[in-house]
């Protein structure tokens, strides 16, 4: 994954901006996302091979609509504007955008007028995904149309001499039938980029960088056993060996047998320096009586830092902290000041480094999740680890609604274990983005044998998703649900009722807390 060539994506607030960068990377070219108002001097410093303007929610004729310096069009590099990006190009270069044009949303048939470059190897018609309320009605000087729809006469435009292109639809979404081909034609054919960004070259490059940065210093790393921290630990160990010191902190909120598996795999199998810290008593003491989910998260986060600091001090002088921050983490954190709303301040962005005065190493910071999995596979990590479902940082604390107790944790662990085990047996696990059990703060009447019971309710949640931003409930086969419910009620003491959550995100969230 060498970065000799970079395609720069400028974010104007589109919900699809990350998809643009991911599609470019899928064809073997490195891409970075930056806010639209990045200084021109910084763009020149990055020296991109080309620039893509994302879509966005604004209207170009609004007073405070995001704009660009006209100098960007004089950089003599190819530019592609998508949706709002097309309208901005036209608006800034003398065209006209109509606010009262007929809106287009969803799948629309595109009629291609020229198949020489952007639509090379296309038929004359294809289906694309539209999402706009404005439309270009007058071309800027020097531009020509190369595709249209029934409602958008200038749906795709170009200035061939300056290599400036605009498309009204979204080629980055899967609903545009040959969207990846459009992006490939732009990036490879028009921009002349080489398709040479690979996991193998990324690992080689990062290994050298890590060794050069660390030198003879010591590095510590929190190893939860999740995908990101696991890939990080194995990559760091490959680069610096025994000068890496990992901690696995068991907060008492892990799934059944999870901590034991982490120790077995990374300490015994991969021979990584790993200290197992059983801090479950401390966490559960601090969480006693706490019901508010946000307070739970804060207590868990602060306690983790306290224990991590204490254990790190035992090692003496430490120079670096390795974190598994990913590219979406950085984009979504406060450090990214684009027009998109800040989604969250991610737990891997900030926190420990500032408090502990350590130099930060984030070798995965340039990668999306699927790329991390590809790197992990190249490093030899097994499929079951790389494709495990997401697990929240606070663990089972946010899956027990209300106060956390040892008894409740035992009930939830056993129910969750049965649920996941049955999904794997029935080969449904890999079809699901995330599946888990939730212990509800209610009890219900039941009958077991000849006796009346008044026991706990378990809710099962399984969703499909691409990135976790939206999700749909998984249509579980009834016979599988029946088997799971029967096993939980019969094998988990204290449960007499199982329900299945059929709400999607939005309006619900994936987790219950």
List, by residue number, the catalytic residues. Answer: 83, 170, 172
Task: Record the tokens describing residue 218, joined without a space.
Answer: 């010591």
Question: Cα–Cα distance between 364 and 6 in angstroms, integer?
Answer: 17
Identify whether 316 is preceded by a cis peptide bond (ω within 30 of 0).
Answer: no
Beta strand spans in 63-124 (E)? 79-82, 96-98, 104-112
Residues β-bridged to residue 92: none
Q: What is the DSSP string of 374-409?
A: HHHHHTT--HHHHTPPP--TTGGGGTB-S---HHHH
Task: Record the tokens describing residue 260, joined without a space.
Answer: 């034991």
427: left (phi over 0), alpha (psi -120 to 50) or beta: left
SS (HEC) of 161-191: CCCEEEECCCCCCCCCCCHHHHHHHHHHHHC
User: What is the largest distance, in Å, between two alpha-carbon atoms of the chain?
Assistant: 86
Task: Record the tokens describing residue 209, joined without a space.
Answer: 């960088």
Residue 19 burial (10 A CB sphere; 0-12, 13-18, 19+) = buried
Question: Cα–Cα distance between 83 and 65 in angstroms, integer?
Answer: 14
Q: Write the DSSP symbol of residue 471.
A: B
- The enclosing H or E element of 29 equals none
Residues β-bridged to residue 453: 446
Sign of CA dihedral 337, 338, 342, 348: negative
């Amino acid at each position: 994954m060498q970065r000799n060539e970079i395609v720069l994506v400028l974010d104007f607030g589109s919900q699809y901006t990350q998809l643009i960068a991911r599609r470019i990377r899928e064809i073997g070219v490195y891409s970075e996302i930056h806010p639209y108002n990045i200084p021109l001097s910084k763009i020149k410093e990055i020296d991109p091979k080309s620039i893509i303007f994302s879509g966005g929610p604004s209207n170009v004729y609004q007073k405070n609509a995001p704009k660009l310096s006209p100098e960007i069009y004089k950089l003599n590099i190819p530019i592609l504007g998508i949706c709002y990006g097309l309208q901005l190009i036209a608006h800034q270069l003398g065209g006209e955008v109509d606010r009262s044009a007929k809106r287009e949303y969803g799948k629309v048939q595109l009629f291609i007028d020229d198949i020489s470059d952007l639509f090379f190897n296309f038929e004359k018609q294809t289906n694309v995904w539209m999402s706009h309320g404005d439309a270009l009605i007058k071309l800027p000087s020097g531009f020509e149309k190369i595709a249209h729809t029934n409602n958008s006469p200038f749906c795709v435009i170009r200035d061939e001499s300056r290599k400036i292109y605009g498309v009204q639809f979204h080629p980055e979404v899967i609903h545009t039938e040959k969207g990846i081909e459009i992006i490939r034609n732009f990036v490879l054919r028009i921009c002349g980029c080489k398709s040479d960004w690979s996991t193998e070259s990324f690992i080689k490059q990062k290994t050298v960088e890590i060794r050069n940065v660390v030198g003879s210093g010591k590095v510590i790393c929190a190893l939860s056993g999740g995908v990101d921290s696991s890939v990080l630990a194995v990559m760091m160990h490959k680069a610096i060996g025994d000068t890496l010191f990992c901690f696995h902190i068991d907060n008492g909120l892990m799934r059944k047998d999870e901590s034991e598996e982490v120790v077995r795999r990374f300490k015994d199998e991969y021979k990584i320096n790993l200290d197992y810290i059983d801090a479950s008593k401390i966490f559960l003491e601090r969480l006693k009586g706490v019901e508010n989910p946000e307070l739970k998260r804060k207590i868990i986060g602060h306690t983790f830092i306290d224990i991590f600091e204490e254990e790190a001090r035992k090692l003496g002088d430490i120079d670096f902290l390795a974190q598994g921050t990913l590219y979406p983490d950085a984009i979504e954190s406060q450090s990214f000041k684009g027009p998109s709303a800040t989604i969250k301040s991610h737990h891997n962005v900030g926190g420990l480094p500032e408090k502990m005065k350590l130099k930060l190493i984030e070798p995965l910071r340039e990668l999306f999740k699927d790329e991390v999995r590809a790197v992990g596979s190249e490093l030899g990590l097994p499929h079951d680890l790389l494709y495990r479902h997401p697990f929240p940082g606070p663990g089972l604390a946010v899956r027990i609604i209300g106060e956390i107790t040892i008894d409740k944790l035992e009930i939830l662990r056993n129910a969750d274990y049965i649920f996941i085990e049955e999904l794997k047996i029935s080969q449904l696990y890999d079809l699901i983005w995330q599946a888990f059990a939730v212990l509800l703060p209610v009890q219900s009447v039941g009958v077991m044998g000849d006796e009346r019971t008044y026991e706990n309710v378990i809710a099962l949640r399984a969703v499909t998703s691409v990135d976790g931003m939206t999700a749909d409930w998984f249509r579980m086969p009834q016979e599988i649900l029946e088997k799971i419910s029967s096993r939980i009620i019969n094998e988990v003491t204290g449960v007499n009722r199982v329900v299945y959550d059929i709400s999607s995100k939005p309006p619900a969230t994936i987790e219950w807390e």
